[in-house]
Every structure is written in C-alpha cells, then in structure tokens.
Amino acid sequence: MSEAINKAVLESTQIAIMEQLPETGVPARSPLAHQQQTASRTAPENPGVYLWESALKTHLALRGDANNADFANGVEAATGLALPEVLQSNHNNEWALSWIAPDEWLLTGPGDQALAMEMSLREQLGGHYAVINVGGGQTLVRLAGPRARSVLMKSCPYDVHDRNFPVGKVVNTVLGKSQATLRRVGDDEWELVVRRSFADYIWRWLVDASQEYRLSLEQPTQGASKNRAGRLQASPVEN
C-alpha cells in the first residue's frame, strides 16, 4: 500500500494520515463477529427477514461544504460519485456515498481501500474539509426480505413506507434506544450503519423484532456478491 501514498499529498498535508490496517495475517474481528458465530445456521423455510453483517468495510466520514466546488468536484473525481442531496445516496459497484448531515457524508466501500481512498480524496479536495477514517468504529448491517420493513417499523420512528422512503434514501434515525443511519438499497433491502459499541444491542434488537417473521441470519442467495476483500479475514457471511 505504501507506494499508493502520494508523497506530495503527505508532504503538504497538515493532517496525520495513517495506514491503519495490518499488512498480513492479523485477524480482524468485526463488531458482530461474536453474533455471527453463535447464530443458528439453520435458516427457516421461506424467511420473512434476512439479517447479516456486511463487515470490515471502509468507512470514511467526509466533512465539507457542498457549495465549495473544490470539495464537491473533488469528491466526485475521487469516488466517481456526485455528492448526494439531502437525505439521498449515490453508489456504484464499489462505493456508496450517503448524505449524513448538512456538512457531512459517509463513504463506504471495499475494506482494504481506506487509505488509498483517503489519499485520493486529499489529492482531489480543496478548501476547508476533513476526511476521517471511522471504519473501526462502525459496521454495516443488512436487513432484507419481505418483512424487513415491518422490522424497521418496530424499531424506528421514521416513516419507512415506499412513498416516503424510496430506494436510495438515507436517514439518521433512532433505532430502539440507539441510533442508526438507514439507507434503502433495494425494494426489500436496507443497510444500517451502526456504531461498533452499540452493534450488539442493535443486532439483538433486530433479531428480537424479526422473531415473528421467520428470521434467516444468512444473506439471501440472489443478492450475493463475490466482492470479498482479499487481505481481510472476514467473517463467514460477509459478502
């Protein structure tokens, strides 16, 4: 990875940029690895809800001013994604960019790309901005299936009806007594960004809320992706 670091960026920056992933052979443990291990592997017939962790991804918080062209264009140049509007997200095959707050976006993508993407962003961005690697502090939880929406209705006060929450929309909302960033990624599929320390609570909350809908802790097969990050020793159900 070191050769990927643009020396010019490193020399000019007044920010401490750091490769935070080990070189090889060091096992990573995602925030929900313990739940994945203990979960029953026998999926029910015809599940109404699927729940799995999309673990060990890159999570970069981007702070900046959408009206600053050096920031907005830079983000697009580095990620290939335009800055999404309020409560929206944009994504391509690898990366998803979600609106979080008026001056904040979240970029998620392949787990081994954190530093390369941060460097690329810093190369492209101008003006007052910040890039913060937060990948160790949060994880992605996917909730899918015909009853996924019912589980969300039990869990958060925001209106998740089709008319109010089309695919691509993002909100930060209350989940149980914690919180999550909720993005609708498909008709029946949602992604939750949850903080590491709250992940166990949220997982158990969602498992509990799914009880009556026949819960599968496997990813549904048709949506499976082969995009397994090579250097990460991912948990068995990570996509």
Partner 1 sequence: MTQPNRLDNGGRIDRSKHLTFEFNGRRYKGFSGDTLASALLANGVDVIGRSFKYSRPRGIVAAGAEEPNAVFQLGATEATQVPNVRATQQELFNGLVSQPTSGWPNLQFDFLGVFGSILGRMLPPGFYYKTFMFPQAAWETYEKYIRKAAGLGRSPRDPDVDTYDHLNQHTDVLIVGAGPAGLSAALSAARSGARVILADEQAEMGGALLDSRETLNGKPASNWVRDALKELSGYDNVLLLPRATVNGYHDHNFLTIHERRTDHLGDRAPANQSRQRLHRVRAKWVILATGAHERPLVYGNNDLPGCMLASAVSTYINRYAVAPGRRLVLMTTNDNAYRAAFDWQDAGREVVAIVDTRAYADGAWQDEANRRGIKLLKGHAVIDAQGKMRVTGAVVAGLNTDGTQLTGKGEVLNCDTLASSGGWSPAVHLSCHTGSRPVWDDDVIGFVPGKTVQKQLTAGAVTGCFSLADCLADGARIGAEAATNAGFNAEPAAAPSVRCRPETRPMALFCVPHYKPNSRAPKQFVDFQTDVTAAGIELATREGFESIEHVKRYTAMGFGTDQGKLGNINGMAVAAKSLNQSIPETGTTIFRPNYTPVTFGAIAGRHCNDLFEPKRYSAMHEWHVEHGALFEEVGQWKRPWYFPKPNESMQQALDRECLATRNSVGILDASTLGKIDIQGKDAREFIGRIYTNAWAKLAVGKCRYGLMCKEDGMVFDDGVTSCLAEDHFLMTTTTGGAAGVLEWLEFYHQTEWPELEVYMNTVTDHWATMTIAGPNARKLLSELTDDIDLDRDNFKFMDWRQGTVAGVPARVFRISFTGELSYEINVQANYGLHVWEKLFEHGAKYDLTPYGTETMHILRAEKGFIIAGQDTDGSVHPYDLGMSWAVKEDKPFSFIGKRGMKREDCVRDNRKQLVGLKTKDPSIVLPEGAQAVDNPNHPKPVPMLGHVTSSYYSANLGRSIAMGVIKNGHKRMGETVHYPLVDGRVVEAEICSTIFLDPKGERQNV
Residue appearing with tokens 């830079």: 74
User: 27 or 222: whose CB is closer to partner 1?
Assistant: 27
Distance between CA atoms of residues 38 and 40, nearest Å: 6
Task: Please give the structure tokens belonging to residue 132.
Answer: 């913060």
Residues that bind partner 1 in the complex, under the rule CB under 8 A: 13-16, 18-23, 25-31, 34, 56, 61, 63, 103, 128-130, 132-138, 150, 153-154, 156-159, 161, 163-164, 176-178, 195-198, 200-202, 204-205, 208-209, 211-212
User: 92 or 166: whose CB is closer to partner 1?
Assistant: 166
Shortest reach from residue 28's CB to partner 1, in Å? 4
Shortest reach from residue 146's CB to partner 1, in Å? 14
Shortest reach from residue 26's CB to partner 1, in Å? 5
- Reported in sequence order, the residue ranges of the chain that DSSP labels E, i.e. its strands, are 49-54, 58-63, 89-91, 96-101, 104-109, 130-133, 138-144, 170-175, 178-186, 189-195, 215-216
Length of the chain: 239
User: 192 or 202: whose CB is closer to partner 1?
Assistant: 202
Whether 63 and 103 have beta carbons less than 8 Å apart is answered as yes
Shortest reach from residue 216's CB to partner 1, in Å? 14
What is the separation, in whole angstroms, between the first and last Cα of the chain? 23
User: 50 or 129: whose CB is closer to partner 1?
Assistant: 129
